[in-house]
Copies of this chain bind each other. A is one copy, B any other.
Amino acid sequence: MQVLKFGGTSVGSIDRIQNVAAIIDEISQTEKQLAVVVSAMAGETDRLVALYRSLGVSIETREYDLLVASGEQASVALLSAALRKRGKKSTPLLGFQAGFVTDQKHSKAKIQNIETQHIQNLWADGSIPIIAGFQGVDAAGEITTLGRGGSDTSAVALAAALGADVCDIYTDVSGVYTADPRICPEARRIPILSFEECMELASLGAKVLHPRCVELGAKYRIPIRVINTFNRGECTVIKQMDSEDKGLESPVVTALSHDHNMILVTVHKAKNAVQDYARLFGPLSDKGVIIDIISNSAPDAQGFFDLSFSCPKEDIVNVETLLKKFGQEYTVRSGLSKVALVGTGMRTHSGVAARVFRILAEQSIPVFCTSSSEISLTCVVPSELVEKTIQSLHKGFELGNP
């Protein structure tokens, strides 16, 4: 039993839809229980969202969801028609027809339950369900959408609900790479990645899969394969590492990710760590500002310390408004980017930070802030040095060699 998901670029034109129909036709020769989840045609959701935004209304409405859900409605209809043309029996299903029940949070609904009876009936009838991703229906019968990473999340959630063996995410890249190949020509596809590494990479800026869908895969232990629709020979398998994989020595660093869109705020001479954090971060969280890296200096002789945190660039107005109320001297630095090293091997290997700083020092790359988790190390560097940083670290940690 298999769930296939095709992204927007994979169904971006009639030719591409016909190509996807051929892939489904081929797989269905050997796999009888197949469910297909489809995104809107590339550019369509953006077009609809732009129309909506020009009205100047909040997106957290049933109107927004009804509008953007029409994008997937068109693509499932076209894909099912392309399969019909090939003589293949399939049934296009909107989110609500496929049994996706969500909460009522318009534009960012969460899947509560998937009633798979309809899909099971279609299988019994020899028909392939072609399901609109990204959408569902709430208890009141209103159409909802899932927000960012929605279609991938639909696919993995469906695989979990059906108890599928695997969820294949067809997209326009051949998997997850050791670094962005546009920045780092030596970057190499990673054949197998653990859920936790993938989640770290996604959270730290790699764009292949949304953390939400990886989290779901990890929770229900559904292996996710990232496959290039236009070159199906290569892929990355994201899975729970089991005994077989544990036999291998994990590399210290598996991959690098980066994210351009950030500012670094430093509050000078804060005094009472816990209280100050609460006074500052509480209101920021109320405004929906996502605080990423937090770091503080050790207190000086008078007990004062500097507190730094990073957040997305678009939140700068909210942040400055609150900092002014906070009443403490502060600095806001923009033009900065994150570069992160991720790898489960970092758990058992010491000296990663030392190696990173040595490599960066050799290249005269200044680091404004660092942060680490059990399996990642993040450095904040000037945006104009991101490429150089990634190239140096990729080479320094020999990520180009399998």
Contact = CB atoms under 8 A, between A and B. Distances in A.
Interface of A: 14, 17-18, 48, 51-52, 54-57, 61-64, 66-67, 69-71, 73-74, 76-78, 80-82, 84-85, 92, 94, 97, 141
* Majority secondary structure, A binding face: helix
Contacts of A80: 63
Contact of A81 (B52, B70, B85): B52
12 contacts: A14-B54, A52-B77, A56-B85, A61-B84, A63-B77, A63-B78, A63-B81, A63-B84, A63-B92, A66-B94, A67-B77, A70-B74
A62 to B, nearest CB: 7
Given A62-B92, A66-B92, 20 more contacts: A14-B51, A52-B77, A52-B81, A55-B78, A55-B85, A56-B85, A57-B85, A63-B77, A63-B81, A63-B84, A64-B81, A66-B94, A67-B73, A67-B74, A67-B77, A67-B81, A69-B73, A70-B71, A70-B74, A73-B73
A57 B18 CA distance: 12
Contacts of A62: 92
Contact of A55 (B18, B69, B71, B141): B18
Nearest to A97: B141
A77 B18 CA distance: 30
Contacts of A77: 52, 63-64, 66-67, 70
A376 to B, nearest CB: 41
A57 B48 CA distance: 27
A48 B63 contact: no
A162 to B, nearest CB: 22
A312 to B, nearest CB: 26
A355 B92 CA distance: 59
A77 to B, nearest CB: 4
A66 B76 contact: yes
Nearest to A67: B77
Contacts of A61: 81, 84
Contacts of A51: 14, 74, 78
A18 B51 CA distance: 12
